[in-house]
Amino acid sequence: MRILVTGATGYIGGRLVPRLQQQGYAVRCLARAAERLRGRFKDDVEVVQGSVEDAESLRTALKDCDAAYYLIHSMASKKKFAEADRRAARRFSEAAQAAGVRVIIYLGGLGSDRERLSGHLRSRHEVGAVLRASGVPVIEFRAAQIIGSGSISFEMIRYLTERLPVMIAPRWVNTRCQPVAIGDVLLYLVSALELPFANRIYEIGGATVLTYYEMMRRYAEIRGLRRRIFVVPLFTPKLSSYWVHLITPIPARLAQPLIQGLYNEVIVRNDDAARDFPNIRPIGFDEAVRRALDRSNIGERETAWFDAFAAKVSNGDFSGVREGMLIDRRERTVNASPIRTAEVFASLGGERGWLAANSLWRLRGLLDRAVGGVGLRRGRRSIKELRVGDVVDFWRVEKHDVGQTLRLRAEMRLPGRAWLQFEAQPEAGGHTKLVQTAFYEPRGLWGQLYWYAILPLHNIVFGRLIESIARAAENRESSTAPRAR
């Protein structure tokens, strides 16, 4: 089967494509910004530049496709979003019918049509009805909050709970919901291709029904945080969105429609999904959160949070936020091969030291020892060889692709968790793009304060480090280059 995925640059679509490939499907993506997909998937994924507003690109994308995933939603709080969503769905479904597509699979929002739904939840249901009107069978999944690192619903809970020891919350925190893990959502979406193609609506949710208040309390317990939440009736959705904008990286224009939907109870009211997908056993909220927070045991996952990191950077330093992480990312073009560059960063630590600002590294080690940490005294097993699991001073090797990538996980005492990653990416002319990224996952308010307190030292430590690695790689390249006779 040939499958079209719309919204492949988004959170769900970006994780769905690799799963479809693993099942042996031929995958094609329709993307307005096709360059964002370059290098993200395997080479056999076909990408069509265009959008649902462009009839020609839509015909090209749907040609010879057996099934199509419609993962396009409008989240901005603009007034005419509902009409724009209906118009886009109508164009897509009519083009799918003309192309002979056998089924459209759509992910919408949970909520009862008998209740007064928010504008965005109501629009999600309307889109499903518009898709069905063309005559192409539609399998529609309706989900509540999706729990996974990078999901906007989960990130809002994460940031509010992490950053506020005492929280003044609006009354929507007492609304019941049935959040579902991202892994389970993807299982439903892929498994739908094995069903008889007929119009069906499935309500999907996790194993736990709870209020948003309970979600934040349970998140805090999993993270070992003490939090007090006071509910007051004064917050309007607009005022709440500005509060979210202030405390989290989520802008008000995205937070407002999301918050409006939080006043609706979103729980599964029928068991059709359990009947037709007997092999899927959705996990509960606590397990979904633990998986979303698992930064080290990424194993064979189809996408990892490191892979999802994509930020616009300059040749200078970059500090930003991604999926609950505080990030310092730096890049340099090195006049040396990736092998030579990687040899340098793979030899850091131990007796050789860190090439730059060694006095500050030693000071950090002494401070760590003073508070009961491991300090720098462990060194490294070998000055030449490096394996996954090896100790490098107060780091441990979490990933090592020889000649390409080295990721170190911090084992010093911190109010959070930290990683330091180096990448040697080949460029034209035998050059290398050296990428050095420090990731930090703060734990509560003290973790946030720690990061910003040491931020002035980053330019000294990390700034000098990448420059020293670049120089050492270039020196190593020139010393090994064959000399003319």
Same domain, yes or no, for 281 and 389? Answer: no
Q: Is 360 within the bounds of a domain? A: yes
Q: Which of 330-334, 381-385, 471-475 has the lowest mean pLDDT?
A: 381-385
Tell me whether residue 378 is in a domain.
yes
CB 107 within 8 A of CB 149: no
- 283 and 406 belong to one structural domain: no
Angle between helices 252-261 and 237-247 (to 10 degrees): 130
* Rounded Cα–Cα distance for residues 277 and 258 (Å): 29
pLDDT at 319 over 90: no
- Structurally, the chain folds into a number of domains equal to 2
Q: Which domain holds residue 134?
A: 2-293
The residue behind tokens 């007796």 is 351
| Residue 303 is assigned to a structural domain of this protein | no
Look at residue 243 and tell me whether its pLDDT is greater than 80. no
Does 115 fall in a domain?
yes
Is residue 301 included in any domain, yes or no?
A: no
| 185 against 246, higher pLDDT | 185
**Length of the chain in terms of residues written:** 485
- Using CA atoms, how far apart are residues 24 and 27, in angstroms rounded to an integer? 9
User: Could you read off the pLDDT of 264-314 as tens digits, one per residue?
Assistant: 888 999 999 999 999 999 999 999 999 888 755 443 334 333 333 333 333
Q: Is there a single domain that holds both residue 282 and residue 321?
A: no
Domain edge (last residue) among 293, 328, 347? 293
pLDDT digits (tens, 9 = 90+) for 172-203: 788 899 999 999 999 999 999 999 888 999 99
pLDDT per position as a tens digit, 355-399: 988 898 888 888 888 887 778 777 888 888 888 888 899 899 988
CATH code for position 315? 3.30.530.20
Residue 71, Cβ density class (10 Å: 0-12 exposed, 13-18 middle, ≥19 buried): buried
Return the number of other C-beta atoms located less than 10 Å from residue 484's C-beta.
4
